[in-house]
Amino acid sequence: AACSYSSSSAATKSITIDGKEYQTDEWFNTPSTITGAVGRRLHLEPAHPISITRQLIESRFPGFQSHNDLFPVVSVKQNFDSLGFPADHPGRNRSDTYYINKETVLRTHTSAHQVDIFNANTSPGYLITADVYRRDAVDRSHYPIFHQMEGAMTWDRNDLQGHKSLADLIWSDVAKLPKHDMKVLDPNPTSHSERNPLQQEHNADEVEAIATHLKRSLENVVVEIFTQARKAAAKLNAQNGTSTNPEDDAPLHVRWVEAYFPFTSPSWELEVEWRGEWLEVLGCGVVQQPVLNNAGVLSRLGWAFGVGIERIAMLLFSIPDIRLFWSKDPRFLNQFKQPDPAKIAPTVSELDRDWGISRFLPFSKYPAAERDVSFWLPGTVESSSAPSAAGGLVTPANSTQVHENDVMEIVRQLAGDVVENVALVDEFVHPKKKRKSMCYRIVYRSLERTLTGDEVQELHKKIGDRLVEQLGVELR
Ligand code: FA5
Ligand code: MG
């Protein structure tokens, strides 16, 4: 979608995002590379892996109402205030969030719509899939735009449906959920009451019933994903006459970990072991009652989760780099197809269900070029020799803070999708000059072609110049 930046006078500037106009102010920090990507709607593009993953997860929540077309520009109130984010929460910073103006942001998570959808109260269970925006690191699993699916389910205290208590009703719904035989390594991590207290409106049995319903529902999603991923691996083996990669046949390991969110208590994250590492795929918990009160549904209680679609899609299709999802290269797009409705219908048995997932086959890997950029931060730092509250650590004196995300942003703005990774490789304070030096290593690699040396050199020079210009650093 198009984005234009127009200025009628120095004081009033406006920006158009996917056809809608917004006034900007001194909080504005959203580059046109970001606003220009609003409107791609990968989660609705037929046969796109993000869209297939969305459909696969949705299929595990029969009866839930899906909301897949909510606009990404939301108020600070929707994104933070209504969910109980404290005023000093780091997520609110301009270093982390794309602001349009003081009151308006690009949503950083699908939870921004919780209160509105709870308020509409059209269905006890709902799902929201949408693009979300964060200023973040640059590597194979982080991209400033990604997709989340929010899910929530609530019950009404005033509608016990013939049960003697609310907990009883919820336990009866737990009994209706499909069972699985996946081993969960840590099914019930301890909740620490400082961070995850029992809410005053709930009793322990209600919370246990809600938590069990939540965890079982999400475990069922994971089982389906891995069943389908294994079918894809088996299909590839059959085609190539190869035997199964032991990784594909290894028992699936998942675990629950205690987490913290301002809008749920207790809260958890679900981690999946993938190629020897624990990967966080979602956050969830029992909805904080003030959120439901803000939505005007005081008698309801229940659970919510938020899952990263790219993380799941990367596992499902073996996609090695998050930038690939944005590729318009037919060598990428043509590898995926919409599932055959006859093979995924609810009437098809678990064993025969087939989403037609295929493993991604990398087209040749193009060479990487690594370049370092080293610079002095503006100002000086003071190493306090006198005992101090900070315990004699190096503390900024007259140094201007440079946030790492500002460095990341400049690299992305100038080099876009030809950067694979940016990492801090060295930092030190010069003992005499009292100045701090940082060195970042940038890995340049296109997914689609070989970059020329001159091209890399030119990009790298531009990045250095822009760091000087915007952050006031001095190149070394
Ligand atoms: C949240 O965004 C919460 N809104 C989730 C939630 C919803 C909790 C409802 C409780 C109730 P978090 O920032 O951890 O939480 O992100 C959720 C998931 O999004 C992560 O587990 C991960 O799968 C994915 N994710 C987060 N950051 C990125 C990123 N930069 N790139 C790709 N995926 C990401
Ligand atoms: Mg998280």
CB-neighbour burial class of residue 247 (10 A; exposed 0-12, middle 13-18, buried 19+): exposed
42, 78, 109, 268: which to mutate for ligand 1, most atoms within 8 A of CB? Answer: 109
The sign one gets for the Cα dihedral 20, 7, 109, 121 is negative
pLDDT for the residue numbered 11 = 52
Q: How far, in Å, is the centroid of ligand 1 from the Cα of 218?
A: 15
Q: Identify which of 134, 146, 148 to mutate to test ligand 1's pocket (most ligand atoms within 8 A of the CB).
A: 148
Q: Whose CA is nearest to atom 6 of ligand 1?
A: 306
Contact predicate 205/195, CB 8 Å: no
Tell me, what's the pLDDT at 159? 97
The percent of residues above 90 in pLDDT, for the chain, comes to: 79
In ligand 1, the atom with minimum distance to the C-alpha of 303 is: 11
User: Shortest CA distance to 182 belongs to which of 272, 104, 50, 267?
Assistant: 272
pLDDT digits (tens, 9 = 90+) for 282-340: 999 999 999 999 999 999 999 999 999 999 999 999 998 999 999 999 999 999 999 99
CB within 8 A of 194, min separation 6: which ones? none
**pLDDT of amino acid 384:** 45
Percent of the chain with pLDDT over 70: 92
- Ligand 1 first shell, C-beta below 6 A: 109, 111, 134, 136, 142-143, 146, 148, 150, 261, 264, 280-285, 304-306, 308, 310-311
Most confidently modeled range among 140-144, 165-169, 343-347:
165-169
| Mean pLDDT value of segment 71-92 | 97
Which ligand has the nearest atom to the CA of 136?
1
Please report which ligand is nearest the Cα atom of 152. 1
Q: Chain-wide mean pLDDT for the chain?
A: 91
For residue 429, give the DSSP letter.
E
The pLDDT of residue 162 is above 70: yes
Q: Please give the distance of CA 167 from its chain centroid, rounded to a whole number.
A: 32
Give CA–CA dist 345/366, Å, rounded. Answer: 40
Tell me what pLDDT residue 387 has.
43
* Alpha-carbon span 158 to 299, nearest angstrom: 7
pLDDT at residue 418, as a whole number: 94
Question: What are 388-423's pLDDT values in tens digits?
Answer: 443 333 444 455 578 999 999 999 999 999 999 999
Whole-angstrom distance, CA of residue 234 vs CA of residue 228: 10
Output the six-digit token pair for 341.
């409705």
| Predicted pLDDT of residue 383 | 54
Rounded Cα gap, residues 56 and 104, in angstroms? 32
Which amino acid residue places its CA nearest to atom 10 of ligand 1?
284
Over residues 417-449, the pLDDT tens digits come to 999 999 999 999 999 999 999 999 999 999 999
Q: How far is the CA of 307 from the centre of ligand 2 (A)?
A: 9
Q: At CA 181, angle to CA 265 and CA 208, rounded to 5?
A: 25
pLDDT at 72 over 50: yes
Q: What is the pLDDT at residue 274?
A: 77
Q: How many CB atoms neighbour CB 213 within 10 A?
A: 21
Q: Which atom of ligand 1 is nearest to the CA of 312?
A: 23
Distance CA 452, CA 454 (A): 5
Q: Could you tell me the distance, in angstroms and rounded to a whole number, from the CA of residue 314 to the centre of ligand 2? A: 17
Q: Given ligand 1 and candidates 280, 314, 405, which is best to mutate, with the most ligand atoms within 8 Å of its CB?
A: 280
ipTM (interface pTM): 0.99
Atom of ligand 1 nearest to the CA of 287: 11
| pLDDT reported for residue 319 | 93
Residue 150 backbone phi and psi in degrees, to 5: -95, 140
Tokens of 54: 């969305």
Residue nearest to atom 31 of ligand 1 (CA): 142
Nearest CA to ligand 1 atom 21: 282
Is the pLDDT confidence value at 379 over 50? yes
- The helix (run of H) or strand (run of E) holding residue 206 is helix 204-240
Q: Which ligand is nearest to the CA of 111?
A: 1
| Ligand 2 centroid – CA 143 distance (Å) | 15
Query: What is the pLDDT averaged over residues 224-253?
Result: 81
Q: What average pLDDT score do residues 142-147 get?
A: 95
User: How remote is the CA of residue 350 from the centroid of ligand 1, in Å?
Assistant: 29
Give the atom of ligand 1 at the shortest distance from the alpha carbon of 110: 4
Query: Is pLDDT above 80 for 1?
Result: no
Query: What domains, with CATH codes, occur in the chain?
Result: 40-72+107-344 (3.30.930.10), 369-475 (3.30.70.380)
Q: Where are the beta strands (DSSP E) in 102-237?
A: 104-106, 125-133, 145-156
**Which residues fall within 8 angstroms of residue 139, CB to CB, at 6 or more apart?**
420, 421, 422, 423
Mean pLDDT of 450-456: 96
Q: Which ligand is nearest to the CA of 142?
A: 1
Helix (H, G, I), strand (E, B) or coil at 396: strand
The protein residue whose alpha carbon is closest to atom 22 in ligand 1 is: 308
Nearest alpha carbon, ligand 1 atom 28:
142
**What is the length of the chain?**
476
What is the sign, positive or negative, of the torsion defined by CA atoms of 128, 409, 322, 16? positive
Ligand 1, residues 127, 146, 196, 316: which to mutate, most atoms within 8 A of Cβ?
A: 146
Q: pTM, whole model, 2 decimals?
A: 0.88
Atom in ligand 1 nearest the alpha carbon of residue 307: 18
pLDDT for res 246 = 63
pLDDT of residue 391: 36
Residues whose Cβ atom is located within 5 A of ion ligand 2: 283
Residue 31 has pLDDT above 90, yes or no: yes
